[in-house]
Structure 1
Amino acid sequence: MHSWRVNELAVFAADLLGHTGDFMTVLRGVAGCAKQLAAAGNPLSVEEVRAILPLIVLRGAVLAVSGYSQLRIDPENEYAAVRMEQEWQVFERSLALPYDWATAQLLLAAGLPHTGADYAYAILGIDEAKVLDLGITAPVFNGGSWLAKPAPEQEAELAADLVQFGEVCVARFGEARMTRVSEDTTEQGRARARGVQLWQASESRIRAPFAGEVYCYDAGDSSCITLYDRESGVAVTFASEVLKPIDSAQDFVTDICGEDEPLGEAEPLAENESEREGQVEDENEREAETGRNGEGVSEIATPVKRVVAGEVIGLLSSGEDEMLGSAIVTRQIVSPEATISDLIATIKDNVSRGTYGFTDAAGDYESNCAADPSVVLRLPARAAAVTDPHRQKREAQTRRNSAMGEAAERYYADPPLFQRGWEALLVDNCGNAYVDLVNNVTAIGHSNPVLAERVAEQLQLLNTNNRFLYDAYAEFTEKLLAHSPDPRLNRAIPVNSGSEAVDLAIRLAQVATGRSHIIATREGYHGWTMASDAVSTSAFDNPHATASRPDWVHLVSAPNSYRGEHQGEDAAEQYAAEVERVIAEMVAAGNPPAAFICEPVFGNAGGVIPPAGYLDRVYRAVREAGGLVIADEVQVGYGRLGKTFWGCELLGVTPDIIATAKAAGNAYPVGAVIASSATVAALVRVGMFFSSAAGAPASAVAASAVLDEIESRQLQANALTVGNHTRELLAELQNKHEVIGAVHGSGLYLGIELVTDRDSKTPATTLTAAVCEALLAEGFIVQPTSERQNVLKFKPPMVLTIEQASQFENALDRVLTALTAS
């Protein structure tokens, strides 16, 4: 016995019991420790586990007495008084637990048999069972195949593909099954398994893993067999539509096993009715004492027989159409104050309602009625229960924080752990699906199979740096330049990101003009390289942005006609006049502009569109001063705006240089700078352009696939249709909710600006954050944006459906109604 280790574990368990008062929490804590020790090659022993409860009692007693002694010395010591009360609670709670019952549960939590001996195999061959991976990351569900058929049918077919005659396969406890994830995010499915499901390709005898009482009953369309060890409060239940339970002791065994099957030393139930009633008299008296002997209890709780370990208790038959026989096995913890009648009534209710063996993300990992049966079934290690998804998420957060540090931006204080995406959906490790409404990066949808297949094929052929000659990049640029807003913009230089694209665009303008000074608008974000950050002025991304720009950057007001300095009919003229004044000042100071850079539609502002005529006048003024104009299309380009492929086209202007990325690779690192041949040729003055991975074969193939998908699936048209539909719904909400001050944007780049009142337009920043959190609970990923963090940004994958947009509007309505009422 490792006494120090047992003591530490007992202290931990005592603290859990004291803080929660819940023995299930203690069991989960012990299980976690036991798994870590086993993984380290030093598992807990039976002797150590048997010492845990006495040590908890001892700790509570010693500390309670110590606290009492301290209070006699120092009666005013409030800390000692509080601690003494807490330790007294630990002492009372632990002392109230029957030793045999609690130790049996602790042994099972530690992965050890509660009987002190190995369990009998419930099904022949289960110790060599194959594992059917139904988890969120299972490759079999790639390409959206999880939506093809109802979950039970699909699971049975996958199991049939895995096993041959006589073999067993199992699906693990605690696993969030992709097959049971709901595509409708407003009604999350019960995806997490609270039982072990097993399939076998032949009729199988089910045997008792341990000695106990057998209870057989029907629940809905299923038959159930519960094996109950009264001494320890341990029960295990088999439920299946093709399960044949015991009818009577001898007849059952003879029928399914033949005359040579021994009955063992189990005590069969008496045939005489009066004697039969006497056998359950103790149970009924116990029910009467606890007030649980209601109507129908004796029928629910009458055992068919008592069995020894290894005795046959049922038969798992083959399903219809020669499908595999299948059963869901759960373990129950029958507390000392409960009865078997309570347990069976709960199981029957769960099976009848279709909730047996599964729970949603809100449910606990284990419960009294659904604990992990893996140990009882003697499953191989590879079939062990999956990690508690909440613990898995905490570990992922810790690792990411350690790797990336504090400066890395991320969504949500308590974010979901995403493991799969499909179209506009993201799925977390608990089996919850969410509609992604913020991801303008994955324009053609998450996990697009065309993109995945083409990139995978190219990676197996060739992937190298862009100094070599290969077809892929030329094929991409031909497709990209087919969308050029002007034939003169006929060159495309490869880059890896939006920051690089803006950085290179600025350098091109400076080299082409022989100047260095740049005009940029306030409230803009352009990237994180030295040059792109220099022209970024978003206070959200950098609170000190406007005060820390280098002297070659000249700022002008963001042309926001909703809440900017100029809001009237002449807003375009007023904002443009400001740019003209800045240009004049720069020329007078001997620093004429090399370029003016601006997003045609302001992304970080939430899709704010400059007033009509503003960009046209500004572009003319810059060009008259000998400068170039750069359109940062990284966020809003690629057809997202619906009416046009580029934002500049929506505004009726043509830039000299276009920077694009994000959607260009659907989250694959791809970007490009589009310019005229003359502008690109100027780059030779400072050296030949080279970027190792930019435009590499795999990147170029990814970029081509994106453009092909946008065209073949008519995603720009979808952005217009779904965007217009969404705008109509939001207009209705705006009439209903005063907090919606404005709806900005076009197509599938929208911004819903929330204000405390429409006259003052005071930003409703706190409300906006609360709305985003509430929408997450509704199954929609939305984030705040703008300098004031009061705009809900709506920039989903361009595959978003009208149905999903309508569901979002309904959810937003519910959330705003609830939050504004409170």
Structure 2
Amino acid sequence: MSPDAPTNVDFFARQALPVPRVTEDQARLIAASSFGLTVSAESLGSQQDANFLLRHEDGTPAAVLKIANPAFSRTETEAQDEAADRVAARAAEPGLRAATVLRGPDGARRTATVATEEGEAVARLLRYLSGGTLSGPRHLSPPAVAAMGRIAGSVSVALRDFRHPGIDRVLQWDLRHADRVVALLSPYILEPTRNSAVLAATAEAWSQVTAVSDRLPRQAVHLDLTDDNLVQAVDSRLPMPDGVIDFGDLTDSWAVSELAICLSSLLHHDGMEPHHLLPAVRAFHRLRPLTPEEVSALWPLVVLRAATLVASGRQQAAVDGDNAYAQGALDREWKIFEQATSVPSVVMTGLIADALDPHLDRDPDLDLDRRATLPAFTPAHPLVPQVDPGDIDPLDLSCEADAMDRGAWLAPDAEERLAAALFARGATALATRYAQPRLAGTPVLADTSPATVPTGIDLRTAPAGPPVTLHAPCDGTLLLAAPGQATLRFRSHLLDLSWSADLPEPQLPLPFPRPGTPLRAGDELTTLPAGTRIHLTLRQADAPPVPARVRPEYAAGWLALTTDPTPLLGLRPTAAPEALPEQRQSEQRLLERRESSFATVQGHYYSAPPRIERGWRHHLASTEGRSYLDIVNNVAAVGHAHPRIEEAVTRQLRRLNTNSRFHYSSVVEFSERLAGLLPDPLDTVFLVNSGSEAVDLALRLAIGATGQHDVVALREAYHGWTYASDAVSTSIADNPNALTSRPDWVHTLDSPNSYRGRHRGPHASRYAPEAVHAIAELAASGRPPGAFLAESYYGNAGGVPLPTGYLAEVYAEVRRHGGLAVADEIQVGYGRLGNWFWGFEQQQVVPDIVCVAKAIGNGHPLGAVVTSRAIAERYRDQGYFFSSTGGSPVSSTVGLTVLDILRDEDLQGNALRSGALLKSGLQALGERHPVVGTVHGSGLYLGLELVRDRQSLEPATEETAELCDRMLELGVVVQPTGDHLNILKIKPPLCIDAAAVTFFTATLDRALTELGH
């Protein structure tokens, strides 16, 4: 076909569109002869066109030479060029770039007709968009996914009223023809199982789309807004698209196809699942609102796109054997199909509708939220009439159930144990709760969320009770009767029943010998032995089979197909179907409530944090029933919810809790024990409520004892939030103005960071003499410091050890001028370093004052300052000291119990052993991942520093934040630290074991790989 022919392409008339055979040398000659460019040409690959990157002699990009498939008419290419211009001019997304055709001095587009082996074709010079595309397997973050949706929405808005004769085409990529394309090309799928899967998925999805197709809006669509055609922003450290290329598939089609095709391209990326695509759907909807019909069709269209890709890819590889681009795409096209069909379309439709609610306009004639169309189920007869509803006790398996205390939820048979305990206490029947996430039996150290949300309920009867007979709750039909299960239909509902497989299989009594038998309300179905567990699910009559439990990410979609079966037992439903979305929104509103009543300056981890309501040892558990490995919590040093602390606190609260002016034993015993852990002359203890108070008090002690009001502190450190502790905090990560807003009595020394400071490696020995010189100059100016404050092992900077001998030289100089040495042990003390109980021991020094907190109370508000009797007595010169709850009976009891646990469980020894295993695993990651700069620290206070270049040490700040978010998805809580927020702070509870260490390093390895680091 000539490019001037008036007829636009019809794929079904041609059935194959091999790429024009143009070599790089030929492309270079075309650029010279047709456009007057002296350039080199580099093939970019394509499915049906020939694309080349043209470069000037100095290597800088000149343009992209696009040689259209000869099957495409000039009318079609002109339409594409005008559409690109329109997107560039009218995009709703600010700064959106588009690969428009370059124009000559006369303003005309630079196009030409060129000869190829397949015939004449239109060649154009397109604007080169720098930044690279999003193609490849790299995992994409929620912000990147949302950006893709915004761009798709922006393009859709820009092209909404675009009209041109060149868009009246019949393309194989137009999802309006997906059924025909797959039918035509499926013989190229040579694997029988894959062929059958593609055909079956296509048939189902096509029927779902045709149900609403006549109500789907149509318009001009780019039709290929995929990761291959979205270009990254040049100034973005992470994949973040801001450019659109390749308008070659422009056509008139269903508008929602723009989004469906964009979504499908995400599914081959590492770690991407269907639920990860919701940010793109929301972003698209905000710019270009979806109609209810489009929501209904969206995921079926994703499936159709995936099927089309598989069939077309196999055909293209067969007819165009030299096309490396087509050959290389086969595996990722199949991965897209697998992901697209991994969740039923009807479930994804419910999930999408839930994600857009309440911003989605409802159509009463369209079954979007299927629960809304289910009539209320009111049984005419109890399912189990022998069981009195008043005798049914709840079997609470949720995160907040008291029965989950003390790690009971970790047992694989936690549910069975709890049920047995309740029956032993006299219960006659137990029922679980519909849609309430279960923590019982949730696996730990899992990189995928488990199925925790029940879509039905379980009824258990007491093992010692009588047999139970099931009755038909309404008039209906018996659809299935098989060993251990039965399905009954009641108008628009299906009731799925199943019972314990290890029980003798009961026979369904006459007159119901086979499926299809009509039922009357009250008819006996079967008799089950005592102690049977019966599972009940009520679902929409045309819904697919529903798993007993589903993953939280997909629960909204699955629950949209079901309703609460509790009324079958004669009980009121725990949640009306229409109330479930409201309950989920209530959970989301909890964050809003926090922000409205709790000062927002008190931030929280993560932009979308899970709701954590339980902890056990080194694990945290969310209300969705997900277990997370806690790598960041040095507060809970001996582990979350330690039973010995719980018992000791409960016992003490039963007896007494008051202030420390009263005389009682625990404050004496704790002070003695704490002072006994420190070298002479540190023998006197002050008890306070926090680390900030401890630092504040320590400074006041030093200034009062010396009469010198100036304080020297290290840069890149954090010490607290009180006036004095904040004044000496210099970390710009915690306060960007930290170094410019210090009061004049605070003087800072260079951070002695041997990895990225001014003096590195062996040259780090220079820090101490420079610090000594600075202190001497300060004293010579008439302002000798009353205190030198430093973390004795650089904690906030990422677990960086101070240079050998640093504190000895600095302490000596401070003391020479009458000052005191204050050691901040709040993060690194109490055995966390493994080799040393206190950080200052690593430096072989003894400070004058020691500040302790965090680990000392295992999360209870407890802090301490330990000093000599002489320094402590000088406080009297300033008045008296009193802390209402510092050293209270409960606080002192907590402090004593923590010390007992540290000793009895050898947690310092575990810090040494597990820390060594952890550090070696982290160091091994550095051999595989260039972003790993180094591993700091000792024991269980480690820091993994991430850099973009190991020579320049440019901090990988954005990469670190993205990594932490991905680790959360994979079941690990870890956070950044350091002035550049590029260090993973690794300070888990001291009870962490080898299995958890191995899981953490393996998961970190996976995340780094997925993110391309």
TM-score range (shorter-chain normalised) is 0.7 to 0.9
Name the structure 2 match of 1:86: 291
Shift of 1:731: 1.6
- Alignment partner, residue 140 of structure 1: 403
- From 550, 568, 589, the counterpart of 1:377: 568
- Report the Cα offset of residue 588 of structure 1: 2.2
Structure 1 residues 97 and 403: alpha-carbon distance in aligned structure 2, compared to 1, 3 A threshold = closer
- Which residue does the alignment assign to 2:30? none
> Which residue number corresponds to residue 389 of structure 2?
127
**Out of 887, 893, 897, which is 1:695 matched to?**
887
Matched, 1:759 2:951: yes
Aligned with 1:181: secondary structure?
A: coil
Say yes or no: does 1:154 pair with 2:414: no
Deviations 1:682-712 (A, max 9, x none): 0011111101111000011001111100000
Q: 1:481 to 1:83 in 2, by over 3 A?
A: closer
Q: Does 1:215 align with 2:479?
A: yes
CA displacement at 1:736 relative to structure 2:
1.7
Q: How far 1:376 sits from its partner (Å)?
A: 4.1
Q: How much identity, in percent, do the aligned residues show?
A: 38
Is the 2:435–2:559 Cα contact (8 Å) retained in structure 1?
A: no
Matches within 5 A, 1:574-589: 574-589=766-781
Matches within 5 A, 1:195-274: 195-201=456-462, 202-218=466-482, 223-229=484-490, 231-241=491-501, 242=503, 247-250=508-511
Question: Could you say what secondary structure the match of 2:518 adopts?
Answer: strand
CA shift for structure 1 position 239: 3.8
- Give CA-to-partner distance per residue, 1:368-427, whole Å, 9 cap, x none: 796233354255348558967854531321221122132112100011111110000000
The CA deviation at 1:245 is 5.6
Secondary structure of the residue that 1:640 maps to in structure 2? Answer: coil
Give the equivalent residue in structure 1 for 2:599.
Answer: 405
Write the distance in 2 (CA, Å) between the matches of 1:592 and 1:172: 68
Structure 1 residue identity aligned to 2:637? A
CA contact 2:371–2:562 (8 Å) conserved in 1: no
C-alpha displacement of 1:560: 0.1
- For residues 517 and 83 of structure 1, do their structure 2 counterparts lie closer, same or farther at Cα, with a shift above 3 Å needed? closer
The 3 A distance-change label for structure 1 pair 248 and 406 is same
CA contact (8 A) 2:715 2:730 kept: yes
SS of residue paired to 1:489: coil
Q: Which ranges of structure 2 fall in alignment gaps of 5 or more residues?
A: 1-152, 154-213, 218-286, 299-360
Count of residues in Structure 1 that have an aligned counterpart in Structure 2? 663
Distance 2:763 2:884 in 1: 48
Partners of 2:665 and 2:592 in 1: CA distance = 43
Q: Deviations over 1:209-263 (max 9, x none)?
A: 2211113444xxx61111112x42444434433485653533xxxxxxxxxxxxx
Q: Is the CA contact 1:641–1:647 (under 8 Å) kept in the aligned structure 2?
A: yes
Distance 1:681 1:103 in 2: 72
Structure 2 CA distance for aligned equivalents of residues 104 and 428 of structure 1: 28
Q: Deviations over 1:41-63 (max 9, x none)?
A: xxxxxxxxxxxxxxxxxxxx99x
Q: Is 1:436 aligned to 2:630, yes or no?
A: yes
Is it true that 1:787 corresponds to 2:979 in the alignment?
yes
2:46 maps to what in 1? none
Higher RCO (CA < 8 A, seq sep 6+): 1
Contact 1:640 1:748 (C-alpha < 8 Å) held by counterparts: yes
The one-character-per-residue Cα deviations of 1:252-297 (angstroms, maximum 9, x if unpaired) are xxxxxxxxxxxxxxxx67xxxxxxxxxxxxxxxxxxxxxxxxxxxx
What is the match of residue 329 of structure 1? 536
Contact 1:495 1:691 in 2 (8 A): yes
Query: Residues 88 and 649 (structure 1 numbering): CA distance in 2 closer, same or farther, change over 3 Å?
Result: closer
Superposed CA deviations along residues 749-771 of structure 1, whole A, max 9, x for unmatched, are: 00000001100000011111111
In 2, Cα distance between equivalents of 1:798 and 1:528: 26
Distance 1:657 1:191, change over 3 A: same
Counterpart in 2 of 1:815? 1007
Offset of 1:366 from its aligned partner? 5.6
**In 2: Cα distance, 1:91 partner to 1:442 partner:** 48
CA distance in 1, matches of 2:290, 2:619: 50
1:18-75 alpha-carbon deviations (Å, 9 max, x no partner): x9xxxxxxxxxxxxxxxxxxxxxxxxxxxxxxxxxxxxxxxxx99x9xxxxxxxxxxx
- Per-residue CA deviations over 1:745-804 (Å, capped at 9, x if unaligned) read 110000000001100000011111111111111111110111101101100000000111
Alignment partner of 2:719: what SS? coil
**Stretches of 4+ aligned residues off by more than 4 angstroms:** 82-85, 87-99, 101-105, 243-246, 381-390
> Is the 2:618–2:630 Cα contact (8 Å) retained in structure 1?
yes
Question: TM-score, normalized by length of structure 2?
Answer: 0.62
Distance verdict in 2 for CA 1:95–1:360, change over 3 Å: closer
- Shift in alpha-carbon separation, 1:119–1:663, aligned structure 2, 3 A: farther
Paired AA for residue 562 in structure 2: A
* CA displacement 1:594-642 (0-9 Å, x = unmatched): 0100001122111011111111111111111110000000111100000
Structure 1 counterpart of 2:457, one-letter code: V
Contact 1:225/1:245, CA 8 A, preserved across alignment = no
- Helix, strand or coil for the counterpart of 2:969? helix
- TM-superposed CA distance for 1:86, in Å, is 3.4
Q: Equivalent residue for 2:221?
A: none
1:336-391 CA-partner distances (Å, limit 9, x unpaired): xx6xxxx5xx46xxxxxxxx411233331462796233354255348558967854
- What letter is aligned with 2:537? T
CA RMSD of aligned residues (A): 3.1
Alignment correspondent of 2:372: 106
Q: Alignment partner for residue 314 of structure 1, among 507, 517, 526?
A: 526
Comparing 790-799 and 597-606, the one that deviates more: 597-606
Q: How far did residue 577 of structure 1 move?
A: 2.3
Question: 2: distance between equivalents of 1:446 and 1:212?
Answer: 52
Q: Does 1:452 align with 2:656?
A: no
**Offset, 1:179:** 1.9
Give distance in 2, aligned partners of 1:667 and 1:781.
17
Distance 2:411 2:837 in 1: 33
* 1:736 has 2:996 as partner: no
Q: Which of 605, 618, 622 is residue 424 of structure 1 equivalent to?
A: 618
CA distance in 2, matches of 1:89, 1:103: 14
Structure with greater helix percent? 1
Per mean C-alpha deviation after superposition, the further-off stretch among 403-412 and 436-445 is: 403-412
1:192 equivalent to 2:459? Answer no
Task: Label 1:384 to 1:310 Cα distance change in 2 as closer, same or farther (>3 A).
Answer: farther
> In the alignment, residue 742 of structure 2 is paired with which amino acid?
R
Residues in 2 aligned to 1:411 and 1:96: alpha-carbon distance in whole angstroms: 39
- Residue by residue over 1:507-539, the C-alpha shift from the partner in whole angstroms, topping out at 9 and shown as x without a partner, is 000000011100011111000000000000111
2:362, 2:821 → 1: CA distance? 79
Map of 1:376-395 to 2, 5 A cutoff? Answer: 376-381=567-572, 383-384=574-575, 390-391=584-585, 393-395=587-589
CA distance in 2, matches of 1:701, 1:472: 6
Q: 2:438 maps to what in 1?
A: 177
In structure 2, the CA distance between the partners of 1:673 and 1:304, relative to structure 1 (3 Å rule), is same
Are 1:797 and 2:989 an aligned pair?
A: yes
Find the aligned partners of 1:154 and 1:186 in 2 and give their Cα distance: 26
Q: TM-score, normalised by structure 1?
A: 0.76
What is residue 356 of structure 2 aligned with on the other side?
Answer: none
| Deviations 1:459-503 (CA, angstroms, capped at 9, x unpaired) | 11000011111111111111111210x221000100000000000
Equivalent pair of 1:245/1:313 in contact (CA under 8 Å): no
> For the Cα contact (< 8 Å) 1:119–1:377, is it kept in 2?
no
Distance in 2, Cα, partners of 1:810 & 1:307: 55
Q: What amino acid sits opposite 2:400 in the alignment? A: T
Contact 1:623 1:629 in 2 (8 A): yes
Following the alignment from structure 1 to structure 2, what is the Cα–Cα distance between the partners of residues 448 and 701?
Answer: 14
Deviation (angstroms), 1:142: 1.4
After the TM superposition, which residues 532-571 of structure 1 pair with which residues of structure 2 at under 5 Å, given as runs?
Answer: 532-571=725-764
Match of 2:864 in 1: 672
Given the alignment of the two structures, is residue 607 of structure 1 paired with residue 799 of structure 2, yes or no?
A: yes
The SS at the match of 2:558 is coil
Compute the displacement of 1:552 (Å): 0.3
